[in-house]
Amino acid sequence: MDRRGFFALGGAGALYCTLAATGNIGSDPKQTRKAVAAADKAASKVRRPRRIALDPRDRDRFPTPDPQPGGQVREYWVQARSTMWDWAPSGRDEWMNAPIPAKKRKRQFRAFTYQLFSPGFVRALAPATMPGPTLHAEVGDTIVVHLRNADRHFNQAITMHPHGVRYTPDYDGSYFGPFTRVGGFIAPGEEFTYTWECPPDSVGVWPYHDHGPNHTLNTFRGLFGAIVIREKGAKAPDVEEIVWFHSLGPEVTGLNRVLHCINGYAYAGNTPTFRAKVGQDVAFHVIGGNNDFHTFHIHGHRWKDNGGQLNTDTPTVGPFETITARFVEDNPGRWMYHCHVMSHQDAGMAGWYIVDPA
């Protein structure tokens, strides 16, 4: 496998041997398809590892935590499944008022998403989306996620690995090879219940994502979402948006170019059109995906940077890092928000933000 190939896919963890034998990913769509198919096949054959105890810590057992006094259990039922996805349902770029140079058939690919269900997985409460459901909690709460791997297409174990919260190794949600614990390998057809704590330093907005044996490919396909944790009793902003700056590359779409996306979509009119009113307390939480660094710009607006000292309108955000733009809305009109990496903006990472008068 050549160098480009190795990095286009990101190695895909345990699968690099397969990939190394398979060939090129990225520049040649046919080679890419073959290499991804081989990686997926290898991932589908990974069995729950027989655990070894290289270290005393590998034998430890941990109790499941309860909420702090006064705290609540925030319980979610989430199903992971692959689904066909259209990255540009309108077929057009509203910004440039032009058709997107890809036939509808070329806009469809098999994504992998987390979807919110009702208690007991009785029915879907929302469509399958990128990002998946936003999980909310306050300091002192526990977040309990019942995760069901309902996918039979890829037939691979998946997980949910959270940032920002506190968890014992069992609830890390990460495949660790021979050190994998229960939450690190949710096989097709299985359910697992994660319990995470929200100590005071969990306040913030954080990503969650797959960290199973094929985490890179499956996270790229859409297995990601956000967790919002506030101080106890803190008021939510009037408008609060989760904005994933991620890409859909050839290894995911089968196209020969990278789409720079927002919440699964590319190009204004497909990417979310956000909306607020003058006087509202507005927060955009921007999270990076994949391998790229971004700068987040909103036309007509400024805010304090994450340290609270500096006025900014274009801060840097890296992969799986979060930056927040929070301000009291004062400027009506149609605005654009976008990544200010010019090549990302031009490859789809732009959308509308429309502000109504008070």
* Rounded least distance, CB 93 to its own copies, Å: 8
Q: What is the greatest pairwise CA distance in the chain?
A: 63
* Rounded least distance, CB 120 to its own copies, Å: 30
Nearer CB in complex with its own copies: 35/116: 35
**Roughly how many angstroms between the first and final C-alpha of the chain, as a whole number?**
58
* Rounded least distance, CB 57 to its own copies, Å: 5
User: Quick check: 26 and 10 in contact, CB under 8 A?
Assistant: no
DSSP 140-176: T-EEEEEEEE---SS---B--EESSSB--GGGS----
Nearer CB in complex with its own copies: 121/320: 320
Nearer CB in complex with its own copies: 116/325: 325
Tokens 């979509």 sit on residue: 265
User: Quick check: 261 and 230 in contact, CB under 8 A?
Assistant: no
Nearer CB in complex with its own copies: 113/312: 312
- Residues 168 and 163: their CA atoms lie apart, in Å, by 13
* Rounded least distance, CB 246 to its own copies, Å: 11
Nearer CB in complex with its own copies: 107/215: 215
List, in order, residues 6 or more apart from 56 with CB less than 8 Å away: none
* Rounded least distance, CB 153 to its own copies, Å: 22
- Residues 104 and 113: their CA atoms lie apart, in Å, by 21
- Residues 193 and 331: their CA atoms lie apart, in Å, by 44
User: Quick check: 13 and 216 in contact, CB under 8 A?
Assistant: yes
Nearer CB in complex with its own copies: 66/124: 66
Amino acid making up residue 333: G
Amino acid making up residue 183: G
* Rounded least distance, CB 223 to its own copies, Å: 12
Nearer CB in complex with its own copies: 18/79: 18
* Rounded least distance, CB 191 to its own copies, Å: 22
Nearer CB in complex with its own copies: 148/209: 209
Strand, coil or helix: 44: helix
Tokens of 42: 């290898």
* Rounded least distance, CB 187 to its own copies, Å: 17
User: Quick check: 206 and 198 in contact, CB under 8 A?
Assistant: no
